[in-house]
Amino acid sequence: MPDFAATHRITHEASMKMLAAGLAKANEIGVKISLCVVDASGQTLAFIMMDGARFFSGRTTTKKAITSASQRLPTGYAPEENVLSMQIRMDGDFTNVPGGFPIIVDGQVIGGVAAGGAQLEEDVIVAKAALAAITTS
């Protein structure tokens, strides 16, 4: 068995593209959100809170990005009856609120990106716009 496996990491150029694309989409649809990019270990790589956003959105958005990076799924997948227990088991970092997406490169999850602070559908639109700014073939 090999000692190491090839992977990729998110550059800050990619992070800046995601922030900029997310902000552009948020402005276009007229919402005030926070955006967060985390790496494969859930560590914050980039963050922005829009002027006028609810400041709790900084925390909830970061948790969406962390959840997607760990669980390798868009947030919102869990059956509702499991959510509270999962939140506690994952030390409060798990969230089931849509708006977080894994960043997948060559079939591997290398991080997560999320938007939060608006309506759920709007958060999803903004996060998808951020994700679309990078090439994740």
Binding stretches for a copy of itself (CB under 8 A): 1-17, 19-20, 23, 39-51, 54-56, 58-60, 63, 67, 69-72, 83-85, 87-97, 105, 110, 134-136
Nearer to a copy of itself, 53 or 125 (CB): 53
In angstroms, the CA 7 to CA 101 distance is: 18
At residue 77, φ and ψ (nearest 5 deg) are -85, -15
Nearer to a copy of itself, 15 or 125 (CB): 15
Collapsing DSSP to helix, strand or coil, 60 comes out as helix
- Closest contact distance (angstroms) between CB of 122 and a copy of itself is 16
- Closest contact distance (angstroms) between CB of 106 and a copy of itself is 9
In angstroms, the CA 52 to CA 56 distance is: 12
Nearer to a copy of itself, 17 or 125 (CB): 17
At residue 91, φ and ψ (nearest 5 deg) are 55, 35
In angstroms, the CA 101 to CA 115 distance is: 9
Nearer to a copy of itself, 29 or 47 (CB): 47
- Closest contact distance (angstroms) between CB of 44 and a copy of itself is 6
Q: Are 31 and 83 in contact (CB under 8 A)?
A: no
